[in-house]
Amino acid sequence: MAIIISSSMSDSGKSLLTAVLVKHLRGIPFKAQNMSLNSFPTKDGGEIAFIQAFQAIGGGLAPQRFMNPVLLKPSGKGIEVIVWGESQGNLSAEEYYSKIGIIWEKINSVISKEMVIESAGGIGEPNFIERDISGFKIMQRGVPSVLVLDIERGGAFASAYGIYNMLPSSVRDKLKGFIINKFRGDEKLLDQAISWLENRTSMKYLGVIPYDERLRIMAEDSMNVSDLGDGELEVGVISYPYMSNFNEFHVFANSNARLRFITKPSQLSKADLVILPGTRNTKISLTWLIERGFLDVLKRKTVLGICGGFQIMGNKLLDPFGLEAGEPSSYEGLGLLPINVKFRSEKVVSISRARSDFGSIDGYEIRRGDIDYIRHKPLLQIEYRNGAKVEIEDGAWNENFIGLSIHGSLYSEGGKAILKQLGIKIGSSSLEDDIKKSVNLAYDIIKDKVDLERIEQIYIENDRNET
């Protein structure tokens, strides 16, 4: 039928192992509910979590809406709830969970035999278990699960034993095995603990994944960002609250620059380029920048803003529906670019292509802000959204300040040409190629450390039981 990759905690390696198993089993990635500010468009204009798109692309598949039926995006004013790729607006937790029964019925109907399912956070939490549509409810269907345990943070075996005993007896036998992740040292030191856990549960040891910097896949949220590249030029990405869609900066991993995520103006003293990334809440991110004294530093630097970061660089932001501020309002931007921004109720979610004097600019848009130019020429013209012909002005370049709305555009011909004007040379060919290389490398490292054949047997045996 399917297999669930679960854990006792977040950031334990579930996403990594899911990506590897999607490739190995030729399966379909699936996460019923994900909370993340990193998202990605499907070809038909749906919005899903970036990590499910990553897992799909790494396995040679096109990202699709059903791979992530529910995406939750914290906004500072409630949570934006995206169901089957469509935004339902900002809801409170109570409002969302009042709808969980209806949402689960549809999710339950799409779970298939080819799925590698990633659960959310820690499985079996007593305050959440009955609402856990990404793990526990799927186990109740009879789908087997494998635990990924992060030994670096300690308590791996205790947490595994705790999960086993916290789960109702009716599903405990669905916990088929466990994998130790991020281990440093002699694996023989684990033997006693492995035997102890196997003797007290129905789970079998399935291998150990070593701590290896090369296994750092593109981050799912801002807690997991890491510096990239080791070139001579320095790029500083300002990690403000609600930073979103920052995996596009993986492009700098193969460049003549080194990229650092920073939170203090003093950290920009040596930066050759400063990037204002996307944000789920421009007002909160903008206020944070000003209160921490970034504006004076930014005025003296070369600054590139993307999507929300581009909007922040303008003169005024108009929010007539209260989508960012929580109530209808307008507020002053950084004043670095001669534009105004108006947020509309409809959300643009698209795979986009634009033309510019620098060449074709390809990527994706996830935004509500429209750009209004103040006696200034746009940097580019968006020509296609999800394959449909459009004519949308976008982007601006004014002295040392540059902005555009298209995520992932630094991988494209025009994006690389813009960076080249700033002295930065990009070696990567595309975001998709970087994803595939990352998954292939992870597979090559893990295949000799984890019993993939036994995992495949669990997957196949359960399929036979269901049929």
Catalytic residue positions, numbered: 307, 407
| Unique residue bearing structure tokens 């005024």 | 316
Query: Which tokens in the block code for residue 304?
Result: 């590139």
Q: What's the Cα-to-Cα distance from 18 to each of 29, 134, 170, 174, rounded to whole Å?
A: 7, 14, 25, 18
CA 140 – CA 107 distance, rounded (Å): 14
- Terminal-residue alpha carbon distance, the chain: 8
Q: Quick count: other Cβ atoms within 10 Å of Cβ 298?
A: 22
CA 56 – CA 348 distance, rounded (Å): 22
Query: Which tokens in the block code for residue 235?
Result: 């790029």
DSSP per-residue string spanning 409-429 = GGGSHHHHHHHHHTT--B---
Instruction: Report how far Cα 87 is from the mean position of its chain's Cα atoms.
Output: 17
CA 362 – CA 205 distance, rounded (Å): 45
DSSP, res 336: -
Instruction: Report how far Cα 21 is from the mean position of its chain's Cα atoms.
Output: 18
In total, the chain counts a number of residues equal to 467
SS3 221: coil
Residue type, 426: I
Q: Are 124 and 134 in contact (CB under 8 A)?
A: no
Instruction: Report how far Cα 444 is from the mean position of its chain's Cα atoms.
Output: 23
Q: Are 51 and 13 in contact (CB under 8 A)?
A: no
Query: Which tokens in the block code for residue 416?
Result: 């690389």
Instruction: Report how far Cα 149 is from the mean position of its chain's Cα atoms.
Output: 21
Q: Are 17 and 150 in contact (CB under 8 A)?
A: no
CA 35 – CA 88 distance, rounded (Å): 15
CA 419 – CA 433 distance, rounded (Å): 19
Instruction: Report how far Cα 83 is from the mean position of its chain's Cα atoms.
Output: 16
**Dihedral angle of Cα 40, 45, 48, 49, to the nearest 10 degrees:** 10
